[in-house]
């Protein structure tokens, strides 16, 4: 049963999963119905114009239904779990020359705009916070002009999706955002700042940037807090810093909060893979230095686990829920995020 949340409801902590729904039953048909699919530009290029349009239309229609089903699922969950990252696969080839004319077609545009408007309204009615996260190739600052132009075009595609869903007005409405990485280290924070200027106003009102493990750590992004909201990825920071766990009382948290300008921030959480840390005490935070000395590479530690298996990490998330929401980046998607939510609720009962 879906429980509407009124427009004046007080903000509550939320966490959720990313992009793909995995049914516990494992039924293939449920997987198909609940998730987006795609079609390659190479395949469409082998078809005649009419057949290519029909194929694209069928994929887009399916994906719009999958978007709605995912939002309906999240809306049916407890309030703590009403957060979701939508897949970038919604509109295949949206920025590709092969599909430009197709997406100008009035019937296809009407379908996209009407279905997305309904999906966005559904999310708002039930207090579901939405985001998108383009692939790592989508950067707004690059020494290569072509790469920068492509990155900006890809970002603006995501902006169109959010705008059709009703999130095109004002600063990160209802917490909606589109998150990217900073890109190549050589461009520096000022390169990102210059890239922001090239975005549309709506894009600048939706963009967020997260710290990564290689190029832009948390401290590298803090100088941008006046220009763009910062997404704290706790696992990326643990890797980049070689073992530091950021706590809620860290003075950098205040800068992150300020960067969101009154909107509740969002953060990312993940943990290293279970098969790397076999036998590790789930009640103890993983020790980066000890794991590396034991022969596990930092590159391997970057990989995401299936589930949120480490209870100490889950407790860290609980502490941070005082100021931020979380997207759970785990391979078992909703199953992992639901497990984390259950841990949070159990702990609340124990301390409450």
**Phi-psi region at 262: left, alpha or beta (left = phi > 0; alpha = psi -120 to 50):** left
DSSP at 25: T
pLDDT band for position 136 (cuts 50, 70, 90): confident
pLDDT of residue 138: 79
User: Quick check: 335 pLDDT over 60?
Assistant: yes
Instruction: State how far the Cα of 298 lies from the Cα of 313, in Å rounded to an integer.
Output: 18
Kindly state the tokens that stand for 312: 């100490």
Kindly state the tokens that stand for 270: 């993940």
User: Quick check: 6 pLDDT over 50?
Assistant: no
Average pLDDT of the residues in 22-30:
93
User: Quick check: 131 pLDDT over 80?
Assistant: yes
Kindly state the tokens that stand for 243: 């073992």
User: Quick check: 87 pLDDT over 60?
Assistant: yes
Q: Are 52 and 102 spatial neighbours (Cβ–Cβ below 8 Å)?
A: yes
pLDDT of residue 185: 83
Closest Cα partner for 217 from 196, 238, 195?
238
Instruction: For residue range 165-176, list pLDDT tens digits in order.
Output: 999 999 999 999
Average pLDDT of the residues in 40-68:
96
pLDDT of residue 1: 54
Whole-angstrom CA distances from 79 to 3, 55, 64, 127, 326 are 9, 38, 24, 8, 13
Whole-angstrom CA distances from 310 to 22, 297, 342 are 21, 19, 13
User: Quick check: 352 pLDDT over 70?
Assistant: no
pLDDT band for position 143 (cuts 50, 70, 90): confident
Kindly state the tokens that stand for 285: 């935070």
Instruction: State how far the Cα of 325 lies from the Cα of 175, in Å rounded to an integer.
Output: 10
Side-chain half-sphere of 168: how many Cα atoms within 13 Å?
15
Helices 49-76 and 106-125 pack at an angle, to 10 degrees, of 10
pLDDT band for position 298 (cuts 50, 70, 90): very high
Q: For the chain, which residues make up each domain, given as ranges?
A: 270-352
Q: Is 6 helix (H, G, I), strand (E, B) or coil?
A: coil
Q: Are 270 and 212 spatial neighbours (Cβ–Cβ below 8 Å)?
A: no
Closest Cα partner for 165 from 126, 124, 105, 201?
124
Instruction: State how far the Cα of 125 lies from the Cα of 88, in Å rounded to an integer.
Output: 23
Query: Which of 69-83, 133-147, 180-194, 317-331 is least confident?
Result: 133-147
A 10 A CB-CB count for 335 gives 18
- Portion of the chain with pLDDT greater than 70, in percent: 96
Whole-angstrom CA distances from 230 to 60, 97, 184, 243 are 32, 33, 17, 20
Instruction: For residue range 197-251, list pLDDT tens digits in order.
Output: 999 999 999 999 999 999 999 999 999 999 999 999 999 999 999 999 999 999 9
User: Quick check: 9 pLDDT over 50?
Assistant: no
Instruction: State how far the Cα of 293 lies from the Cα of 291, in Å rounded to an integer.
Output: 5
Average pLDDT of the residues in 281-291:
97
The residue that leads in pLDDT, 102 or 5, is 102
Instruction: For residue range 251-275, list pLDDT tens digits in order.
Output: 999 999 999 999 999 999 999 999 9
- Please state the pTM of the whole predicted model: 0.94
- Portion of the chain with pLDDT greater than 90, in percent: 86
Average pLDDT of the residues in 325-352:
90
Instruction: State how far the Cα of 308 lies from the Cα of 342, in Å rounded to an integer.
Output: 11
pLDDT band for position 148 (cuts 50, 70, 90): confident
Outline where 46-144 has alpha helix (H): 49-76, 100-104, 106-125
Kindly state the tokens that stand for 257: 């909060």
pLDDT of residue 212: 95
């Amino acid at each position: 049963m879906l429980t509407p949340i009124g427009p004046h409801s007080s903000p509550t902590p939320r966490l959720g999963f990313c992009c793909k729904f995995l049914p516990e039953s494992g039924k293939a048909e449920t997987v198909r119905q609940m998730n987006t699919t795609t079609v390659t530009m190479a395949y469409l290029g082998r078809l005649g114009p009419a057949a290519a349009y029909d194929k694209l239309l069928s994929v887009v229609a399916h994906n719009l239904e999958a978007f709605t089903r995912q939002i309906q699922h999240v809306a049916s969950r407890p309030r703590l779990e009403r957060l979701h990252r939508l897949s970038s696969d919604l509109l295949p080839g949206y920025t590709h020359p092969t599909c430009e004319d197709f997406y100008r077609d009035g019937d296809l545009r009407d379908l996209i705009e009407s279905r997305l408007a309904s999906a966005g309204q559904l999310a708002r009615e039930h207090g579901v916070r939405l985001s998108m996260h383009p692939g790592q190739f989508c950067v707004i600052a690059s020494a290569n002009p072509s790469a920068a132009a492509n990155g900006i075009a890809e970002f603006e595609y995501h902006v169109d999706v959010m705008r059709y869903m009703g999130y095109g007005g004002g600063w990160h409405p209802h917490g909606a955002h589109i998150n990217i990485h900073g890109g190549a280290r050589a461009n520096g924070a000022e390169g990102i700042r210059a890239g922001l200027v090239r975005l549309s106003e709506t894009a600048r009102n939706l963009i967020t940037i997260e710290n990564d493990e290689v190029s832009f750590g948390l401290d590298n992004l803090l100088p941008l807090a006046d220009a763009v909201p910062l997404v704290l990825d706790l696992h990326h920071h643990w890797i980049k810093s070689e073992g530091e766990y950021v706590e809620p009382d860290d003075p950098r948290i205040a800068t992150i909060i300020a960067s969101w300008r009154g909107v509740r921030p969002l953060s990312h959480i993940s943990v290293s893979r279970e098969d790397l840390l076999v036998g590790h005490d789930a009640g103890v935070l993983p020790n980066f230095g000890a794991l590396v000395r034991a022969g596990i590479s930092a590159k391997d530690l970057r990989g995401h686990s299936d589930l949120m298996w480490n209870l100490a990490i889950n407790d860290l998330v609980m502490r941070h829920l005082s100021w931020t929401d979380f997207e759970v980046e785990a391979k078992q998607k909703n199953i992992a995020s639901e497990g984390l939510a259950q841990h949070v609720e159990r702990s609340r009962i124990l301390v409450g």
